[in-house]
Copies of this chain bind each other. A is one copy, B any other.
Amino acid sequence: MANFGGHAIPGSFFLLYGFWLTVKHILQHHWRTNQPKARRVMPPLFRKLDYMEGGFLIFASFVGIMVEQFVVDGPHARLYNPEGKSWVKLMNWQHSTMYLFFGISGMALVASTASKQVPAGLDRLALSLALFVEGKSSFGSTWFLHITDTFSPGVCFELFRCFFLLANGPGFLFLYHLHNRPLLDAHIHSLLLFAVFSASASTMLEVFKRDDIVLELLRAGLFFLQGSWFYQIGFVLYPPNGPKWDLTLHDNVMFVTMCFCWHLAVALLLVAGISSAVWFAVKRFSGRGQDMEMRITSSKSSSQKALLEESDEE
């Protein structure tokens, strides 16, 4: 992963996923606000979207695990080498673990879409866990392995801390500094983790507060932020064309900090723009195309009304 492509691929994935989430949640929100509360039956379209999303997550995570395991220099499903008394390619195993949890998140989404028995909020819990494990893995594999061995065990625990604090703060950077790594490298990854763990925390909140459009768009926005920041990391640490960045220059660190704020602003803008576009498109479309749907709904609702009236009359 230590090249530009290794950052561009997840970046593109997360940008696309952010786009998908924005569109999906705006469609759902449009439906929710335009339907009266009593008759709010999720239309089949949304179930199909959720099946697609879940299926994609399962499929992608399966492919990811297979690639990580059976790539030329991969572990080929061997975990321990008894001859050399050593573990085999732990980094690939970590990536597989990371994909596994995204796969579990996809399964949870499919399950909670397919059955009413599955409690609402389970899919969000699983996604939150997947993001958490993603943060952990990317943290552990891309970053800390470069540092000396002594500090690495702190990684995981630090991340539990991050998950709840969205912070590992000065203590961490202080230690980092002790190991004489370039500060820009540490700093730019910290900012990525901020996006990942924010998304994890906001998704966790959704377990308890379902169908809150602000939270849902916040999640989409944090995926955009994560995606675009992956690209930024690629451009800064492995510039595809152009000169290398001076990773120790203080001004670069300051600029990157500010740049993160800009990425945040752009992510907000993207969510706002896409939301508005989808909203207006749906409105125009529903003016023309909703007729048939309306007729079905209205006939349904009128029969319901009749039923209600009968029960009232009883």
Q: Which residues of A contact B (CB under 8 A)?
A: 29, 33, 86-87, 90, 93-94, 97, 100-101, 104, 117, 119-122, 125-126, 129, 133, 136, 140, 149-158, 160-161, 163-175, 177, 183-184, 186-187, 190-191, 194, 207-209, 212-214, 217-218, 250-255, 257-258, 260-262, 264-265, 268, 279
Q: Are B250 and A183 in contact (CB under 8 A)?
A: no
Contact B187 A157, beta carbon cutoff 8 Å? yes
> Contacts of A100 on B, CB cut-off 8 Å?
265
- Our pick among B170, B208, B253 for the contact of A172 (Cβ within 8 Å) is B170
22 contacts between A and B (CB under 8 A): A29-B119, A86-B251, A87-B251, A87-B252, A90-B255, A104-B265, A104-B268, A117-B279, A119-B214, A129-B268, A150-B177, A151-B170, A153-B183, A153-B187, A153-B253, A154-B169, A157-B172, A161-B165, A164-B166, A164-B167, A165-B165, A168-B170
The 4 closest A-B pairs by CB, nearest first: A161-B167, A149-B250, A153-B187, A156-B257
Known contacts A129-B264, A136-B257, then 6 further A-B pairs from the complex at CB < 8 Å, ordered by chain A residue: A119-B214, A153-B186, A157-B167, A157-B170, A157-B173, A164-B165
Contact B152 A253 (CB under 8 A): yes
